[in-house]
């Protein structure tokens, strides 16, 4: 009440300045403070509870350690090669769907989107069962084929536990996001630009590489930067595939140094984390300097007031082979992984498919899961984590986006840039920052370390970049006159925000909540690093079943249940979104 009275007594610009300050304080608490703690502790010896004197010892130790440079090279190869492969395939698929006469294009769209429902760590688990060097189903088939040619092998020929295997799985999981980032640009591109190239004598291949790709440079740059940043901080795939052969990337080395080594190597973890923060800032600067500025100057505008009609390229005899590429992707991304998970879930212990194994098929693992004494707590933790993260993320995103879009104050774009930084950071860096922040003696008044709320804080930070961009776009479509009319009618500023603005952007708000909750339910990295036996989630339990207990069948059964739950959430969300668009939903 006092806060509302103060807001009513000052001008609109002053109100926006106050809200900008509050938004800055929120981001400082959630993002800047934990990262600042990482940098500060990297220059000190000791532990988070007993910090020693300032020194460069952590950096000297870390950067004279040969494994550091091997790990850095692995990270660059993992992210760089994956980006090249995914961008090449994603551009090809977007072009086939939007600019050619390939048959069944709507079916191709569906096949591209389906992998969203398969968590990356479950897909990785599936491919370990398919390409395990000794008992992988596909390796067994390949060895039998090679035996007919007179070549006998005891293992392989493909080894999924390698840097190449990590890149292969990452390419499959990352294709959907890149496709969605570039396909819209293909749809909006004015075909007359390509027609002019053809009139000038250029063939189709030359036109594509010399005209189409350069014109699409902003969208391709965004997709490349987004994918490269995401791969640098990816931990799920390297954790599951690199652990067998001790192939580390920077996020997994930070994870093992800070959470699994004995004794814990805080110096190594923080000295590795600090450069990541500056890399993140550099990538964010590149994004705003080279992409946003080019958009503001309209250097690459292709959609104008002149009406155009999209023209599709005839593929001729290549129409159906092009469709086969999408079928192959569906087989690799969903078909084979889901089938092998389903097969494993029906066995008391995993074994490759055979007539003998078929006689062992049972629903026993599913009944075991339902009978676990702690399964209720694990499900409840997952629901609280997913729904709590989704609600808090979207509320904070709405508030910060309103400040960025509606105010004209200096500093608002700095808030937007700060929000983007965590997207480039590994979850292990964020987790280390949270540990240092909430274990610090000055933070004893906020005892959230070891609770679900510290995981909510970590995941919230990771999902804010997407959520704020979703709300930025929604708020730019709502004219400020609607809010001004509410103010003129005597409504308070907070009343206008909650009763006018928020209901108007309810559809994207609901969609954002669904996106965040679906990702939070299946997230592995943050819960794995910050959970305790009392706060385990389904994804953490999955990892322990797989890694510690080697219970592949139990992990597969739990994974199938998780996929079904996420699918059900998606179906329910469609109804919620329809209600939000029709105005039937109410806050």
CATH of the domain at 24: 1.10.3720.10
DSSP per residue, 141-159: HHHHHHHHTT---SS-S--
Residue at 277 is within a domain:
yes
Count the Cβ atoms, other than its own, within 10 Å of residue 370. Answer: 11
Query: Per this entry, what is the length of the chain?
Result: 587
Shared domain for 496 and 459, answered yes or no, is yes
Q: Does position 547 have pLDDT exceeding 70, yes or no?
A: yes
pLDDT at 42: 75
Residue at 74 is within a domain:
yes
Q: Look up the domain containing 125 and give its range.
A: 62-303+311-334
| Exposed / middle / buried, residue 411 (Cβ in 10 Å: 0-12, 13-18, 19+) | middle
Shared domain for 145 and 202, answered yes or no, is yes
Count the Cβ atoms, other than its own, within 10 Å of residue 260. Answer: 12
Shared domain for 80 and 203, answered yes or no, is yes
| Exposed / middle / buried, residue 76 (Cβ in 10 Å: 0-12, 13-18, 19+) | middle
Shared domain for 404 and 269, answered yes or no, is no
More confident residue, 195 or 530: 530
pLDDT at 85: 92
Q: How many domains does the chain have?
A: 2
Which of these ranges, 239-253, 317-331, 364-378, 502-516, has the smallest mean pLDDT? 502-516
Shared domain for 132 and 177, answered yes or no, is yes
Shared domain for 31 and 76, answered yes or no, is no
Alpha carbons 258 and 427: distance in angstroms, whole number? 12
Q: Cα–Cα–Cα angle for 328, 330, 331, nearest 5°?
A: 65
Would you call 261 helix, strand, or coil by DSSP? coil
Tens of pLDDT, residue by residue over 449-471, are 778 888 888 888 888 877 777 77
| Beta bridge pairs of residue 162 | none
User: What percentage of the chain has pLDDT greater than the value 90?
Assistant: 1
Shared domain for 141 and 259, answered yes or no, is yes
Tens of pLDDT, residue by residue over 193-237, are 666 665 666 666 676 676 666 667 766 777 787 788 778 778 888
Residue at 348 is within a domain:
no
pTM: 0.76
Residue 307 banded pLDDT, cuts 50, 70, 90: very low
Residue at 172 is within a domain:
yes
Q: What is the distance of C-alpha 34 from the center of its chain?
A: 20
pLDDT at 411: 63
Shared domain for 70 and 103, answered yes or no, is yes
Shared domain for 377 and 288, answered yes or no, is no
Shared domain for 367 and 453, answered yes or no, is yes
End-to-end Cα separation, the chain, in angstroms? 21
Helix, strand, coil distribution of the chain in percent, nearest 5: 75, 0, 25
Domain boundary among 291, 319, 334: 334
Shared domain for 291 and 158, answered yes or no, is yes
Residue at 71 is within a domain:
yes
Would you call 534 helix, strand, or coil by DSSP? coil
């Amino acid at each position: 009440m006092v806060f509302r009275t103060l807001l009513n007594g000052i001008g609109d610009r002053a109100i926006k300045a106050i809200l900008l300050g509050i938004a800055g304080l929120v981001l400082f608490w959630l993002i800047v403070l934990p990262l600042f703690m990482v940098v500060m502790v990297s220059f000190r010896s000791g532990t988070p509870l007993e910090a020693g004197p300032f020194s460069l010892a952590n950096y000297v130790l870390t950067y004279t350690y040969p494994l550091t440079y091997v790990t850095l090279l692995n990270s660059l190869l993992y992210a760089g090669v994956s980006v090249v492969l995914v961008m090449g395939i994603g551009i090809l698929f977007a072009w086939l769907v939007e600019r050619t006469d390939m048959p069944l294009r709507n079916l191709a769209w569906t096949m591209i989107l389906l992998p969203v429902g398969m968590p990356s760590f479950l897909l990785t688990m599936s491919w370990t069962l398919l390409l395990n060097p000794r008992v992988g189903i596909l390796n067994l088939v390949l060895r039998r084929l090679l035996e007919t040619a007179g070549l006998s092998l005891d293992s392989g020929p493909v080894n999924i536990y390698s840097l190449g295997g990590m890149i292969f799985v990452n390419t499959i999981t990352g294709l959907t996001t890149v496709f969605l980032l570039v396909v819209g640009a293909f749809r909006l591109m004015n075909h007359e630009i390509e027609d002019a190239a053809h009139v000038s004598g250029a063939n189709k291949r030359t036109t594509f590489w010399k005209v189409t790709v350069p014109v699409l440079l902003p969208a391709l740059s965004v997709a490349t930067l987004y994918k490269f940043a995401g791969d640098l901080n990816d931990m799920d795939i390297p954790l599951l595939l690199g652990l067998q052969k001790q192939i580390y990337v920077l996020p997994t080395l930070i994870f093992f140094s800070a959470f699994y080594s004995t004794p814990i190597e805080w110096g190594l973890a923080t000295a590795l984390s600090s450069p990541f923060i500056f890399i993140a800032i550099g990538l964010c600067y590149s994004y705003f300097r080279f992409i946003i500025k080019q958009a503001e100057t309209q250097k690459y505008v292709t959609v104008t007031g002149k009406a155009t009609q999209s023209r599709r390229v005839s593929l001729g005899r290549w129409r159906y082979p092009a469709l086969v590429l999408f079928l192959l992707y569906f087989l690799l991304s969903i078909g084979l992984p889901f089938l092998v998970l389903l097969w494993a879930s029906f066995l008391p212990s995993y074994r490759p498919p055979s007539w003998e194994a078929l006689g062992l098929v049972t629903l026993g693992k599913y009944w075991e899961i339902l009978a676990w004494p702690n399964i209720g707590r694990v499900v409840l933790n997952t629901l609280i984590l997913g729904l709590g993260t989704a609600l808090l993320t979207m509320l904070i995103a709405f508030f910060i986006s309103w400040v960025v879009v509606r105010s004209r104050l200096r500093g608002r774009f700095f808030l937007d840039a700060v929000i983007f930084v965590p997207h480039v950071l590994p979850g292990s860096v964020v987790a280390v920052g949270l540990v240092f922040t909430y274990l610090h003696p000055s933070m004893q008044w906020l005892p959230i370390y070891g609770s679900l709320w510290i995981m909510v804080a970590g995941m919230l930070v990771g999902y804010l970049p997407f959520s704020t961009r979703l709300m930025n776009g929604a708020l730019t479509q709502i004219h400020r006159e609607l809010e001004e009319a509410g103010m003129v009618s005597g409504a308070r500023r907070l009343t206008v925000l909650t009763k006018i603005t928020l209901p108007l952007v309810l559809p994207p708000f609901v969609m954002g909540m669904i996106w965040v909750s679906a990702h939070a339910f299946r997230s592995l990295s943050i819960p794995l690093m910050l959970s305790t036996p009392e706060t385990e989630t389904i994804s953490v339990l999955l990892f322990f079943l797989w890694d510690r207990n080697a219970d592949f069948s139990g992990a597969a059964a739990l994974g199938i249940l998780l996929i079904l739950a996420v699918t059900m959430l998606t179906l329910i969300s469609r109804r919620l979104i329809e209600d939000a668009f029709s105005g039937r939903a109410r806050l």
